[in-house]
Amino acid sequence: MARQYARIEQEDLNPSEPLPWDVFNEKGFLLLKQGNTVRKEQLDRMLQSGIYAAAAALEETRQLRIGSTETERTSAYRCLADARRAIEGAFAACRAKTEDFGQRIDSLIEDVEKAIEINPLVAVAVISMKPEGPYSHRHPVDSAVIVSLLARGRDMPNTERRSLISAALTMNFGQFETQDALAKVGGLLSAAQKAEVQAHPETSAAMLEAAGVTDRLWLDTVLRHHERYDGDGYPAKLAGEAIGEHAQLLAMADWYCARLNPRADRSAQQPPTVVKLSQAEARHAFSPVLLPLLPKVLGLYPAGSMVKLANGDVAVVACHTTDPHAPIVYSVKSPRGPLHHAVRRETNDTNHEVREPVDPANLIFDKPLRLTEFWGKDAEGG
């Protein structure tokens, strides 16, 4: 046949769908018009003898199919895993003041936002269930997820939300290379380490300006993300509304994610515990107007929390219901041992009421928990 035709393969056609192009035999004679449907038996015979379509049209269909397959493969977990891997490159580009720094941040923002759009429950669960890689790589991405959700909870315009996410991703660039060591030490810092920590908001903002960032909201949010409502923060000891809502939201996201990680002076806390603490212990740190936003956005039992049920099961929180105390969970361990398959439970049932958070570090499973057991394709890869 002439070069403008190409042979049709099995994967190019679905018997239940209309033909997307005209179909020809090997001599170029028209066999079927576009839009016709073909029974599977007839299609199999035709494919065996050889059928053809216009090469350009066939290639276009194949490219669309590849794009569709790639979209299906994309999951919230993979978006965030990609972002965690890419954050170091963004830091290097900022430090070197390369022209692609802005593009790298834009790409990271897209990863975070896409993960949330695919499934916000997975995006939240990844923070506590998949603490993989260095803290310096995880924490900015995790904080970006939470601050994006908080901004959405405030109906913040997209442009402002992007500035907030940018700030979350870059707030610690001033201590990026030492953050992992500092995080392990926690509150037991030397004088030099404490000085570095307290200077990092200004150092980070200066690095960003040197790299060409002119977004004042982004820069100011980085500068103020460690200020506290009672004036006990740093570096400027700002208090109350002088801090600004955007910096307050990032401070809350930063605080929440940090609490989920262990330090030398404290063990990792569980998501429900941190949400509860935010409404009590953290009252001095955050605006009373914004404090209710954390449980409103994450729920009393954030997705991915591990909890103990009334029947003794250990379960993973999958999603929320209209009752904040009764999330949908999946039991993964009974008093007799790990379950072969996760079992869905409705915790408004007295036998399956949530009793308390559970630290996964104290649990032993026969195999790693897979996020797909609780959230399906949205969590593929995790």
From the list 322, 258, 323, 251, the residue with the least C-alpha distance to 290 is: 251
β partners of residue 337 = 334
* Structural domains in the chain, sorted by start: 5-73 (no CATH), 76-298 (1.10.3210.10), 306-371 (no CATH)
pLDDT of residue 41: 74
From the list 32, 39, 34, the residue with the least C-alpha distance to 16 is: 39
Whole-angstrom distance, CA of residue 100 vs CA of residue 119: 29
Residues 141-191: tens digit of each pLDDT: 999 999 999 999 999 999 999 999 999 999 999 999 888 887 777 667 788
From the list 285, 208, 202, the residue with the least C-alpha distance to 249 is: 285
Whole-angstrom distance, CA of residue 153 vs CA of residue 293: 7
* Proportion of the chain above pLDDT 90, given as a percent: 68
Average pLDDT over residues 93-118: 97
Residues 181-194: tens digit of each pLDDT: 877 776 677 888 88
Q: Is the pLDDT of residue 73 over 60?
A: no
Q: Is the pLDDT of residue 349 over 80?
A: yes
CB 378 within 8 A of CB 118: yes
Q: What is the DSSP track for 114-171? A: HHHHH-HHHHHHHHHH---S-HHHHHHHHHHHHHHHHHHHTT--HHHHHHHHHHHHHT
Dihedral of the CA atoms 151, 176, 259, 239 (nearest 10)?
Answer: -60
Q: What is the DSSP track for 22-63? A: -EE-TTS-EEE-TT----HHHHHHHHHH--EEEHHHHHHHHH
Q: Report the largest interatomic distance among the alpha carbons of the chain, rounded to a whole angstrom.
A: 84
Please give the DSSP secondary-structure letter assigned to residue 269: P
H-state helical runs in the chain = 40-49, 55-73, 76-96, 101-118, 120-129, 135-153, 158-170, 179-185, 191-210, 216-224, 245-259, 271-278, 293-298, 372-375
Q: Is the pLDDT of residue 2 over 60?
A: no
pLDDT of residue 274: 96
332 SS3 class: strand
Q: How confident is the model at residue 5 (pLDDT cuts 50, 70, 90)?
A: confident
pLDDT of residue 1: 54
pLDDT of residue 16: 63
Whole-angstrom distance, CA of residue 366 vs CA of residue 337: 9
Average pLDDT over residues 283-307: 95
Look at 39-53, 143-157, 353-367 and tell me which has the smallest mean pLDDT. Answer: 39-53
